[in-house]
Amino acid sequence: MPVNLTSPVAAQLLPVAGVSLGVACAGIKRAERKDLLVMQLSAGTRVAGVFTTNRFCAAPVTVAKEHLASSSGIRALVINTGNANAGTGELGMADARATCAALAGVMGCKPEQILPYSTGVIMEPLPLAKIAAGLPAAVANAKENNWYDAAHAIMTTDIVAKAISKQILIDGVQVTITGIAKGSGMIHPNMATMLGYIATDAAISQPLLQQMVSSACNRSFNCITVDGDTSTNDALMLIATGKSGMVEITRAESSAYETLLGAVSEVALFLAQAIVRDGEGATKFITINLEGGEDEAECKKIGYAIAHSPLVKTAFFASDPNLGRILAAIGYAGVSDLDVSKLELYLDDVLVAEHGGRAASYQEEDGQRVMQQSDITIRVVLNRGSVDTTLWTCDFSYDYVKINASYRS
């Protein structure tokens, strides 16, 4: 079950003026399941995004990037679950373009004004006919107050939907931000979300919107991992309709930009952490603080070595303070001049190791006490420099194996 994460409450998800969401059951993988989402945007809406770095990136990722670059005014996003349309070659590209053309036909706009997204099984042909047949219903279903259903329509192995809203004041104008995300396995940095959509009625220039989505992503989705597998389909989109009535943000050195970035980052961080809390089979949510590194690269190397170690993850699953496994992971992280005698390892407030070995003050029962918790912080103080970084991950349980050994069936 998700670690300290509950399903969103529909009434707490706020509509964003200019964004209408419609869902449908297209029967892509299973019948009677909401598996298609169309997000319609009012004219003048700006969209920016960051995408997976996987070389086998999915056809819809390639098409979405092309359409974003052609900047003809994006009018809708279409998202299907049940099939990733990745590892599908030229046919996959044609299917992604045909999906856009089909929706453009229903909506009366150009195919280039549609951004497509897919998530699900890799290397199987997209069931284009089913998707095309489902589009009219998804368009007809469009409502501004439909984020709850939208969050559910993009789920695959997720147990709970991930969604949050936030309101802020910018120069006295109320601005709303609502975000949804999906993802549970195949989660790793370099765009880790699988899929995330954050919309706001704020007004902001296109270059600053792109800068903002990159910044928010680096502080959130790019700092989480479940299993170290970078998906072929990851995308995080930031949508700004400008409908709030505020004055457009055109300078990064402005309090309006900072305020909006702060709120968007909070939404992104909540969604990213929710993905880890709902990580496949997760029973523990683990925060890894790296302190006093020379640069961010070495902090992340050490943090991800810990976060990806199956031995560390299974020890957390067992609530077993077999903490030497963390030292081993620090040691093989690839920081070749690391002096292990200078670092300190803490589990929450408990000093575990220093001077290259177990701390004299460490008591097994203190480690055991922290290991029983469902939220745990590992703190590695490197004493090499002044850079700090935080990552988030979860443990590794029987259920991770069970879920991934049966995902297709």
Binding residue for a copy of itself, selected from 5, 38, 79, 315, defined by CB under 8 A:
315
Binding residue for a copy of itself, selected from 43, 70, 72, 89, defined by CB under 8 A:
89
Contact, 259 vs 164, CB < 8 A?
no
Least distance (Å) between residue 227 CB and a copy of itself: 4
Ramachandran angles phi, psi of 344, nearest 5°: -125, 140
Number of residues this chain uses to bind a copy of itself (CB under 8 A): 70
- One-letter amino acid at 279 equals G
Binding residue for a copy of itself, selected from 27, 73, 205, 229, defined by CB under 8 A:
229
Structure tokens at 29: 């993988």
- Kindly give, in sequence order, each residue whose CB lies less than 8 Å from that of residue 200, ignoring residues fewer than 6 positions away: 16, 175, 176, 177, 178, 238, 239, 240, 241, 244, 260, 264
Binding residue for a copy of itself, selected from 56, 143, 206, 373, defined by CB under 8 A:
56
Least distance (Å) between residue 17 CB and a copy of itself: 38
Binding residue for a copy of itself, selected from 336, 349, 365, 386, defined by CB under 8 A:
336
Structure tokens at 262: 């702060």
Least distance (Å) between residue 192 CB and a copy of itself: 11
Binders of a copy of itself in range 233-262 (CB under 8 A) = none
Least distance (Å) between residue 402 CB and a copy of itself: 7
Contact, 384 vs 293, CB < 8 A?
yes
Which of helix, strand or coil describes residue 293?
Answer: strand
Binding residue for a copy of itself, selected from 19, 126, 338, 394, defined by CB under 8 A:
338
Q: Any idea what the Cα angle at residue 11 is, between residues 8 and 16, rounded to 5°?
A: 95
Contact, 246 vs 255, CB < 8 A?
no
Catalytic residue among 81, 193, 200, 225: 193
Nearest to 240 by CA among 214, 267, 264, 265: 264
Least distance (Å) between residue 159 CB and a copy of itself: 18
- Kindly give, in sequence order, each residue whose CB lies less than 8 Å from that of residue 319, ignoring residues fewer than 6 positions away: 368, 371, 372
By the rule CB under 8 A, 27 interacts with a copy of itself:
no
By the rule CB under 8 A, 335 interacts with a copy of itself:
yes
Which of helix, strand or coil describes residue 20?
Answer: strand
Catalytic (active site) residue 193: yes
By the rule CB under 8 A, 328 interacts with a copy of itself:
yes
Closer CB to a copy of itself, 90 or 253, in the complex:
90
Contact window for a copy of itself (CB under 8 A) among 52-60, 105-113, 143-151, 154-162: 52-60
Binding residue for a copy of itself, selected from 277, 325, 379, 384, defined by CB under 8 A:
325
By the rule CB under 8 A, 96 interacts with a copy of itself:
no
Binding residue for a copy of itself, selected from 67, 75, 162, 188, defined by CB under 8 A:
188
Structure tokens at 143: 């409502």
Closer CB to a copy of itself, 266 or 298, in the complex:
298
The sign of the torsion formed by the CA atoms of 90, 66, 181, 275 equals positive
By the rule CB under 8 A, 340 interacts with a copy of itself:
yes
Q: Any idea what the Cα angle at residue 185 is, between residues 314 and 58, rounded to 5°?
A: 145
Contact, 207 vs 134, CB < 8 A?
no
Contact window for a copy of itself (CB under 8 A) among 38-46, 136-144, 150-158, 223-231: 223-231
Helix (H) or strand (E) holding 100: helix 89-107
Closer CB to a copy of itself, 58 or 181, in the complex:
58
Binding mask 272-311 for a copy of itself (x = CB under 8 A): ------------------------------------xxxx
Strand ordering across the sheet containing 19-24:
19-24, 36-41, 76-83, 114-121
- Kindly give, in sequence order, each residue whose CB lies less than 8 Å from that of residue 28, ignoring residues fewer than 6 positions away: 35, 36, 80, 81, 82, 83, 120, 127, 130, 131
Binding residue for a copy of itself, selected from 258, 357, 372, 375, defined by CB under 8 A:
357
Point out which residues bind a copy of itself (CB under 8 A): 53-57, 84, 86-92, 121-125, 185-186, 188, 190, 227-232, 308-311, 314-315, 317-318, 320, 322-325, 327-333, 335-336, 338, 340-341, 353, 355-358, 396-398, 400-402, 404-409
Q: Which residues are catalytic?
A: 193
